Amino acid sequence: MFTLFLGLLLWSGLHFWKRVSPSSRAKLGDKGKGIVAAGLVLSIVLMVVGYRAAEGTVFWGRTPAMTGINNLLMVLAFYLYAASAAKTRVTKWVRNPQLTAVKVWAISHILVNGDTPSFLLFGGLFAWALAEVIVLNRVAPPAPYRDVPVKKEITAAVATVVAFSITAAIHIWLGVNPFG
């Protein structure tokens, strides 16, 4: 589980770098973006490898009811993420839709994966997203909401269905059926 934990620390550290030490991050300019991108890819690899190798106590297993709830929450998470990019109407009420999507994603995965490695991975990413929202709310005032055309709502809905379908297909390909 050390590899998983290391991946979480790297992920969180790189995301908070700009907030904790803006001058050191700014000094690197565009080169810093490459460092962050490479570090984030490495952190994801560490989390995936660490999660797949981790063992721990199982508190509950997957049930049909929790699987259904998980899938509904995942559709919501994908919509929130797409809504952030399209700046849809939900951004009027949800200030940080991408981070809210991460929190919904994490909770949905804990519901169907009740084991220690899942608590560490999904709980850790939930904690990161929550901390990120708190920091962002302190350092940046909310941007004013602007009405968007219906086309943006449709774009977000289509992106949600496409992303959910691709993600489900990848899960099935990896041997984890999200529907059963």
User: What pLDDT digit, counting tens, does each position of 74-118 carry?
Assistant: 999 999 999 988 888 888 888 899 999 999 999 999 999 999 999
Could you give the CA distance from residue 155 to residue 157 in angstroms, rounded to a whole number?
Answer: 5
Beta carbons within 10 angstroms of residue 131's beta carbon: 15
The helix (run of H) or strand (run of E) holding residue 114 is strand 114-115
Contact 104, 164 (CB under 8 A): no
Helix (H, G, I), strand (E, B) or coil at 59: strand
Picking from 1, 12, 15, the residue whose alpha carbon sits closest to that of residue 49 is 1
165 Cβ neighbours under 8 A, 6+ residues apart: none
Q: How confident is the model at residue 30 (pLDDT cuts 50, 70, 90)?
A: confident
The residue extents of the domains of the chain are: 1-54, 57-180
Beta carbons within 10 angstroms of residue 14's beta carbon: 18
* Model pTM score: 0.89
